[in-house]
Structures are given as structure tokens and as C-alpha cells.
Amino acid sequence: MKITTVTLNPAIDQTVRVDGFRPGTVNRGQSMQWDAGGKGVNVAAFLADYGHQVVVTGFLGQENPELFEQLFARKRIADRFVRIPGRTRTGIKIVDEAARQTTDINLPGQAPTPEAIAALLVTVVQLADECDWFALSGNLPPGVPEPLYAEIITRLKAYGRSVVLDTSRDALRLGIQAGPTVVKPNVDELSELCGETLSDEVAIERAACRLLANDIELVVVSMGERGALFVDTARALVAVPPAVAVKSSVGAGDALVAGLIAGRARGMDLADCARLATAFAAGAITRLGAHLPPRPELDPLFGQVAVRRLRDTA
């Protein structure tokens, strides 16, 4: 099964390891690395590590594409990005392994031209002829109309394709109205969408249930160290990851999306999809950059994920 990820606002991730990081003072770093990133790029990298055929598209600055092109070549990911003038943005990640904390500094991206947006829509429709699943991931760059994800979802649904939407704010709200197959907010994004504080799992589950309409089959709510909530019309499951040695939490939600798509592509039931998605996330945080552990390390995590039923009406 071939999968496309769409990344409208990719980033080059500059990851600096600073154990005992303290703001407002001089810190000594232990290491630094640069990675091609952005949520959809991360999803593609995880899926490629797991053996899937993956295509990437979105907007990529034509002045500094080298890190992305090297990643795509190394992981055998097909590159269908629309190149736009300027440089792809940089995102700074300060990783404190000792405290198990990551501080993100995200800079704005490049504004694509109307011609680039039109070219992207043509590319997405072309890919609908060959790909079964699409992951639309990340925020919108400057100058992009907020309904763009919704427009992409509408076009893909006309081809009968399955779509995962992972974004925030108005792009999330408008995208939900278009009816993607799966929606994956985190707790804060779901709270903002619903306009209320979600203080416990029951409140989160009720808010997620309200999204199950207009062709949305599944809502997955990432809850950080508490795991993730998987909600469809018949059941609600909570998947809690095993304890692992955390290198960086960057990309955990993207790994969750990748694992979910991998599970759905294999025809797994909801519980096993939840286990695989959570195992992907647990494995990803043991690495810096968007890389899964080797299968001998990843596969045991699947069995170590604890899944419990919050609701079952099946």
C-alpha cells in the first residue's frame, strides 16, 4: 500500500542537547545535529523505516533542499515537493535528556505563491491515482488560506482515499468540516477546538465523540506520557506506552500517526492499531530525529503497550 504525506510547512530541525538546561544563563551543550523535519516529513520517515512505500509533497524552499533530498534518497521516499523561492525555515530543539524535557523554538515558514498552491493541488490529485492513504500534517505557512486542508480532503474523498488530519486551530476546525477519515489532535488542540478544559479521560472521550460525524471514523487524542485515546463509534481505548529511555519527545505524535496508518494498512483492529501506533511513538522517542529503532527493538514494544477499554458498545 502506497502512502502520501503532505507537509505544507517543513523545517530543518537543529537539535541541541543541553543537559540541565537553564534559561537566562550560559549553558554548555553536549551535541548538535541537523535533520530534515516537519510533521509530514517525519511521518514519511517513520513509515519508510517500517517498510512502506511513501511519497512526500508540500512546499520546500529551493535554496536549501539538500538535507531533505538526502533523507528522501537514504530512506527511498519519493519526492514530489513543490519548490518555492527562499529557504525552508529552521526549528530549534533544545533537548535536556537529564530532565526528559524538550524546548522548541519554531520560526515562521516561507509563503508559497498562488501558483505554487495550485501546483500542489494538481500534485495531490495526481497522487490520488496511486496512493491509498494521505497524512496531512502540521501547521500552515504564512499566506496559505486556512481552508486549504479542507480543500485537499474534499478532493481526496472524491477519489475514495483515506485521510488523516493532524493540525491545529482554524485549519483543524475547517478540515474537520470536510470529513477526513481520522483526526489526531492532542489534548490542548482538542480543548481549544471544543472551547472547554478537558480535565480527565472521560471529558476527553466525550469531546472526541462529538467529532465522529461527516465521515470521520476515528479520533486519536495524544496525551503525552499518559498515552493516547482512540475513539470510534463503538469503543474508546486508552493505550499507554511502556517506560523507555527518552532521547527527545520531538516527533512522538508524528510516529503515532505513522503507526496508526501502518496498522490500518495491515487491516488491524482498533486495539492492535492502538498498540502499533503507541509502539511507534515509544520507539521514536528513544532516538534523535525521525527514526524508528530496528525491528528487533521495535517489535517487543508492541506487546508492552497497555490497552484498556474506556467504553465499548460493540
Candidates 106, 69, 65, 71; CA nearest to 88 is: 65
Q: What is the SS3 assignment for 37?
A: strand
CA distance 39 to 95: 18
Match 520517515 to its residue by C-alpha cell.
Answer: 45
Check if the beta carbon of residue 247 is closer than 8 Å to that of residue 99: no
Question: Could you tell me how far CA 90 lies from the centroid of its own chain?
Answer: 18
Give the amino acid at 75: K
Containing 176, the helix (H) or strand (E) segment is helix 169-178
Give the amino acid at 226: R
Alpha helices for 131-168 (secondary structure H): 148-158
| Helix, strand counts (H, E) of the chain | 10, 15
Which residue among the candidates 254, 269, 272, 299 is catalytic per the annotation? 254
Containing 240, the helix (H) or strand (E) segment is strand 235-240
DSSP structural state of residue 312:
E
**For residues 259, 263, 266 and 270, what is the CA-based torsion angle, rounded to 10 degrees?**
180
C-alpha cell read off for 249: 519527545
Question: Is 254 annotated as catalytic?
Answer: yes
Catalytic residue list = 254
